Amino acid sequence: PRPSRPAATAGDFLELLGFCTRAEALITELLLLPDRGLPQFADRRFDLILLARVGI
């Protein structure tokens, strides 16, 4: 039998939503400040992927 998992609570959802919001803000900052971001983010080959992830 499969091990039982506790059901997700509203608090879990809010915590995940907060994490996603912070991650999106960080990615946006990295895109807007390429001179201060990681060198990997300066590679234009990844623009479409990064922009798709933040919904731009």
Q: Would you say residue 15 lies in a domain?
A: yes
**pLDDT above 60 (res 56):** no
Task: Give me the domain span that covers residue 16.
Answer: 10-54
Q: Would you say residue 4 lies in a domain?
A: no
Q: Is the pTM of this model over 0.85?
A: no
Q: Would you say residue 23 lies in a domain?
A: yes
Q: Would you say residue 3 lies in a domain?
A: no
Q: Would you say residue 2 lies in a domain?
A: no
Q: CA 10, 15, 19 angle in degrees (round to 5)? A: 145
Provide the number of structural domains found in the chain: 1
Q: What is the tens place of the pLDDT at every residue in 3-39?
A: 666 777 888 899 999 999 999 888 887 777 666 656 6
Q: Would you say residue 19 lies in a domain?
A: yes
